[in-house]
Amino acid sequence: MTNTDYAPLRPEDPQLQDEDHAALGEDYALTAAFVEKVVDAADDGDGMRLRSLLENLHPADVADLMGFLTAEHRSVVVQWLPPDLLAESLPEMDDGIREQVLERVPSATLAEALQELDSDDAASVVEDLEDDQRERVLAAMPEVERAAIESSLGYEEDSAGRLMQREFMAAPQFWNVGDTIDHVRAQGDDLPELFFDIYVVDPMNRPVGGVAISRMLRSPRSTPLVDLMEPVNVIEVDVDQEEVAYIFEKYHLISAPVVDTGGRLVGQLTVDDVVNIIQEENREDILRLAGVSDEDRSSSVLEIVRGRVPWLGINLFTAVLGASVIALFEGTIQEIVALAVLMPIVSAIGGNAGTQALTVTVRALATRELNASNALRTFWREMAVGLANGFILAPLIGLAAGFWFQDWRIGAVIGTAMILNLLVAASVGVLTPLTLAKLKFDPAVSSAVFVTATTDFFGFLIFLGLATMVLL
């Protein structure tokens, strides 16, 4: 199968002039009208119309469509997907939706579909199967494809070995351009679907360099590969996927060879795999900052509640701490009611400032722009930013509060409290993720809960403490 088989279709394309095929809107998203047609055809059990609607869709759009359908409609639609389109669509689906779809696909059909995929995509699908279904599917596959998938599943999850594809092109050191081109042409359908480099290997099958396809094709046939090859960034099979993404991003790689513990070439990683890794890691970090588990469109209410409640419970506990500070100054608040009106302003600004510093710090840690060598400099920079923000905002709120309550002492108290709480926010926004990283914890794991709790606690303490000293 070539990539052109499923090129995205635009509404103005001739193939989409029929209203049944007007699937994509101007933003490449599936239209509501098209989804409704699919639902109607599924309700009517009209398999031929379903196949007509689906056959020209890109696999990524099929995956999106599955997310818009109910489980009942998915079970009907999947029966009418051609095996090659089903195969290309499975890796694109959300994990939960893919698991539901896989339950509806007969083992023989799935085994046929997986043979259309590269080994890395096939392995990612097979690992989602229940044990008994996995055994049936693997048993129905040819021995070579089955062995490749089983070997991939033998590596740790989220490692380079699990992510790599076993299809690659390699050539010995003594070959020239002509030898290599002839070898590539002789492979026919056994060629990898996507590859950018020919890896040059020594007699022990260890990569010693790589030749870009574009450079090789511009060179005379008699040119030795060793004269064209460039050094390659070798990745070991047990390297974590986050480290893989960092290597690709830092060195601007399109592909990289993967080697086993003995340094022998066993696979390759390409940029399309790494784009998925980066998106997955960013998604995880965003969810963890908010204290939310990995949710998708197929998640049930119970699964979502189970993932969110623990962090809301922690948030409840920290809110009680903030309330306990207010209770200490109950007498002050009764004497000066204006303080109850102004307290939320101090805590809200501090919480937002802390979240800003936290987000920047977590991102810097994730991209390795922040480490022990520049941590202190980063801390003092954020403190300076917090102080500057305080001197800009404090006069504004101070003047407003003084004019509002006709007491300039109140304005001075809230202005001073805001400056101090912004400094607290800056410090905890940097120190919280740095401390978690030092302790080998994920710095993105709901640091925001602890940052806002700290800014609330100290915001109330500073504001009400100053008010007690100055106003009473």
* pLDDT digits 0-9 by tens, 310-352: 777 887 888 888 888 889 898 888 888 889 999 999 989 999 9
Q: What integer best gives the mean pLDDT of the chain?
A: 85
Q: Which two structure tokens, joined as six digits, stand for 329?
A: 């100054």
- Position 384 scores a pLDDT of 96
- Position 2 scores a pLDDT of 35
- Position 182 scores a pLDDT of 94
In whole angstroms, give the CA distance from residue 303 to residue 300: 5
- Position 292 scores a pLDDT of 65
- Position 205 scores a pLDDT of 95
pTM: 0.71
In whole angstroms, give the CA distance from residue 80 to residue 170: 39
The string of DSSP codes covering 352-395 is HHHHHHHHHHHHHHHTT--STTTHHHHHHHHHHHHHHHHHHHHH
| Residue with tokens 């998106």, as numbered in its chain | 279
Kindly state the average pLDDT of the residues 386-405. Answer: 94
Sorted by sequence, the CB contacts under 8 Å of residue 392 that are 6+ apart come out as none
Task: Give the H or E element holding residue 212.
Answer: strand 207-212
Kindly state the average pLDDT of the residues 292-310. Answer: 71
Task: Give the H or E element holding residue 172.
Answer: strand 170-172
Highest mean pLDDT (candidates 20-34, 324-338, 411-425): 411-425
The residue among 429 and 290 whose pLDDT is bigger is: 429
Kindly state the average pLDDT of the residues 379-400. Answer: 95
In whole angstroms, give the CA distance from residue 55 to residue 59: 10
In whole angstroms, give the CA distance from residue 412 to residue 401: 9
Task: Give the residue among 433, 452, 453, 455 at the shortest CA–CA distance from 444.
Answer: 433
Sorted by sequence, the CB contacts under 8 Å of residue 466 that are 6+ apart come out as 413, 416, 417
The answer to whether 205 touches 265, Cβ cutoff 8 Å, is yes
- Position 294 scores a pLDDT of 62
User: Worst-scoring range by mean pLDDT, 86-100, 246-260, 411-425, 434-448?
Assistant: 434-448
- Position 319 scores a pLDDT of 83
In whole angstroms, give the CA distance from residue 457 to residue 454: 5
The answer to whether 100 touches 69, Cβ cutoff 8 Å, is no
466 pLDDT band, cuts 50/70/90, is: very high
Kindly state the average pLDDT of the residues 261-274. Answer: 91
Kindly state the average pLDDT of the residues 246-253. Answer: 90
- pLDDT tens sequence across 101-134: 888 888 888 888 888 788 888 888 888 888 888 8
pLDDT at residue 225 is higher than 70 = yes
Kindly state the average pLDDT of the residues 220-234. Answer: 95
